[in-house]
């Protein structure tokens, strides 16, 4: 029996030297570049454009893009580490680069032709933000019940419809858009397209006013006869459903990384506070009841982290991670809710104010059980993996 060595695949709890250096560099970047901007971005409900520029300069917007196309030639594990470290400071900033890497660069890199990859990946790695447009008003969890249509006319396609809940919608210049080219075929007519903001008929609509990750833009997209060249069909016509599912499987690892980062940031804030806050003559962290709550949170966080890291490792190894991605997102989002809630409670009344970071972590955590597939959708995927139909 062949035994896989640690040299061939590092243990989940030990990062390679390159990965550890990368993680440490991103942690320093988050502390120096992201943290000073968090409160202002939250108030203005907008990612600082200068921070986006810094993301590009750090190579964070094209982590898995080949060096020959201007990227960093990294791995999903490195994307995971970057999203986690930035989310410890601000998950709203982290989701911008997460979507770029897992939902935009990935499908273009995996399913695009040579011309498409050479055209768009260098732009996405160096200067242009991307967005992923699947959801609609009547097709959230039922993503393949979409009403957007694509009609071929000569050397171009005409897209009509309306997309909702599009992360990065306000900042993006390049969009992966899904529309049905053959409604009679149901989901087998769904096709993916790469759409530029400047294409005729395309417009960014309403920006949502959200509970959490408020600096991250969430918008509608209006497709009013958008003219898309034939060369911008992503993958085969009618294979959009396959591209969407495969892309979301990896995207859920990114959301898992965001959630463990949120939980870690909140837990460390709680640890610091419980060491400083004194009641009954000693710090509240000296009370066993508080210690046990923190210990439970730490154990749950580590369990979620291992699920996320495992899914990333498997994806990098070329494995199908539909099941592992669903489990990682499900558990990490649940852990993030529990840990951020505990952190807020341990701050007492102060936790309910904006003077401390935990109220923001608490609000930011909630989205993890909703976007890129609700918890019920993840449970459905896991049940199918068990053979439960």
Q: What is the pLDDT of residues 164-175, one digit of tens each?
A: 999 999 999 999
Q: Is residue 7 part of a domain?
A: no
Beta strands 233-234; 190-196: pairing state: antiparallel
Task: Please give the average per-residue pLDDT across 88-92, as a whole number.
Answer: 98
Which is nearest to 229 in space by CA: 332, 130, 159, 301? 159
What domain range is 355 assigned to? Answer: 242-385
Shared domain check, 121 and 52: yes
pLDDT at 19: 96
Task: Please give the average per-residue pLDDT across 46-58, as a whole number.
Answer: 98
Shared domain check, 376 and 314: yes
Task: Please give the average per-residue pLDDT across 258-269, as a whole number.
Answer: 98
Residue ending a domain, among 170, 204, 238, is 238
What is the pLDDT of the chain when averaged over all its residues? 95
In the chain, pLDDT over 90 holds for what percent of residues? Answer: 93
Torsions phi, psi for 44 (to 5 deg)? -85, -10
Q: Is residue 5 part of a domain?
A: no
Q: What secondary structure does DSSP assign to 59-70, as a single string? A: TTT-TTS-GGGT
Residue ending a domain, among 188, 207, 238, is 238
pLDDT(6) > 80: no
pLDDT at 10: 54
Greater confidence (388 vs 130) lies with 130
Which residues pair with residue 194 across a beta bridge? Answer: 176
Which is nearest to 312 in space by CA: 351, 256, 364, 352? 256
pLDDT classification of 388: cutoffs 50, 70, 90: confident
Residue ending a domain, among 71, 92, 127, is 127
pLDDT at 3: 40
Number of domains comprising the chain: 3
pTM above 0.75, yes or no: yes
Shared domain check, 377 and 252: yes
Q: Is residue 6 part of a domain?
A: no
Block residue for tokens 């050397």: 155
pLDDT(5) > 70: no
Shared domain check, 179 and 87: no
Residue 208 is given by DSSP the state: P
Shared domain check, 330 and 272: yes
CATH number at 44 reads: 1.10.540.10
pLDDT at 387: 87
pLDDT(43) > 50: yes
Beta strands 174-180; 130-133: pairing state: parallel
Shared domain check, 356 and 291: yes
How far CA 140 is from CA of 1, 32, 147, 291, in Å, comes to 46, 37, 12, 41
pLDDT at 140: 76
pLDDT(8) > 60: no
Tokens of 360: 């923001």
Q: Is residue 2 part of a domain?
A: no
- Active-site annotation, residues: 372
Contacts of 219 (CB under 8 A, 6+ apart): 166, 169, 170, 204, 205, 206, 207, 208
Shared domain check, 271 and 363: yes
Shared domain check, 371 and 282: yes
pLDDT classification of 12: cutoffs 50, 70, 90: low
pLDDT at 9: 54
Shared domain check, 261 and 177: no
Q: Is residue 248 part of a domain?
A: yes
Q: What secondary structure does DSSP assign to 235-273, as a single string? A: SSTT-HHHHHHHHHHHHHHHHHHHHHHHHHHHHHHHHHH
Block residue for tokens 């099941």: 323
Tokens of 84: 């986690």
pLDDT(63) > 60: yes
Shared domain check, 79 and 36: yes
CA dist., res. 119 & res. 232, Å (int)? 10
Block residue for tokens 């992966």: 176
Shared domain check, 352 and 283: yes
Residue 284 is given by DSSP the state: G
CATH number at 299 reads: 1.20.140.10
Q: Is residue 146 part of a domain?
A: yes
Q: Where are the beta strands (DSSP E) in 134-211?
A: 149-153, 156-167, 174-180, 190-196, 202-207
Shared domain check, 250 and 216: no
Kindly report, residue by residue over 188-212, the tens digit of the pLDDT.
Answer: 999 999 999 999 999 999 999 999 9
In the chain, pLDDT over 70 holds for what percent of residues? Answer: 97
Task: Please give the average per-residue pLDDT across 318-323, as a whole number.
Answer: 96
Q: Is residue 4 part of a domain?
A: no
Q: Is residue 12 part of a domain?
A: no
pLDDT(229) > 70: yes
């Amino acid at each position: 029996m062949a035994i896989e060595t640690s040299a061939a695949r590092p243990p989940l709890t030990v990062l390679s030297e390159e990965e550890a250096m990368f993680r440490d560099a991103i942690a320093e970047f988050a502390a120096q570049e992201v943290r000073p901007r968090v409160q202002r971005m939250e108030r203005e409900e907008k990612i600082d454009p200068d921070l986006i520029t810094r993301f590009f300069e750090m190579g964070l917007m094209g982590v898995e893009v080949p060096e020959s196309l201007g990227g960093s030639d990294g791995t999903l594990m490195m994307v995971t580490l970057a999203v986690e470290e930035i989310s410890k400071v601000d998950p709203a900033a982290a989701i911008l680069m997460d979507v770029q890497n897992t939902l935009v660069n990935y499908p273009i890199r995996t399913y695009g032709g040579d011309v498409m990859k050479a055209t768009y990946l260098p732009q996405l790695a160096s200067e242009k933000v991307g967005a992923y447009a699947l959801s609609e008003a009547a097709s959230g969890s039922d993503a393949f019940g979409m009403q957007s249509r694509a009609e071929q006319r000569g050397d171009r396609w005409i897209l009509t419809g309306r997309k909702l809940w599009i992360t990065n919608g306000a900042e993006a210049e390049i969009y992966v858009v899904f529309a049905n080219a053959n409604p009679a075929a149901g989901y087998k007519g769904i096709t993916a397209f790469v759409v530029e903001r400047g294409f005729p008929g395309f417009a960014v609509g309403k920006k949502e006013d959200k509970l959490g990750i408020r600096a991250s833009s969430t918008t509608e997209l209006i497709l009013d006869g958008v003219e898309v060249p034939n060369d911008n069909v992503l993958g085969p016509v009618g294979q959009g459903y396959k591209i969407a599912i495969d892309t979301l499987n990896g995207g859920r690892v990114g959301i898992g990384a965001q959630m463990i980062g949120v939980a870690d940031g909140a837990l460390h804030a709680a640890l610091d506070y419980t060491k400083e806050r004194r009641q009954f003559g000693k710090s509240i962290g000296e009370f066993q009841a508080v210690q046990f709550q923190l210990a439970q949170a730490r154990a749950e966080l580590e369990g979620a982290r291992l699920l996320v890291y495992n899914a990333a490792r498997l994806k990098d190894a070329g494995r199908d991670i539909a099941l592992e991605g669903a489990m990682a997102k499900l558990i990490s989002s649940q852990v993030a809710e529990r840990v951020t809630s505990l952190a807020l409670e341990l701050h007492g009344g102060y936790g309910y104010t904006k003077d401390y970071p935990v109220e923001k972590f608490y609000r930011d955590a909630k989205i993890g059980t909703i976007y890129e597939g609700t918890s019920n959708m993840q449970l459905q995927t896991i049940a199918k993996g068990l053979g439960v139909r």
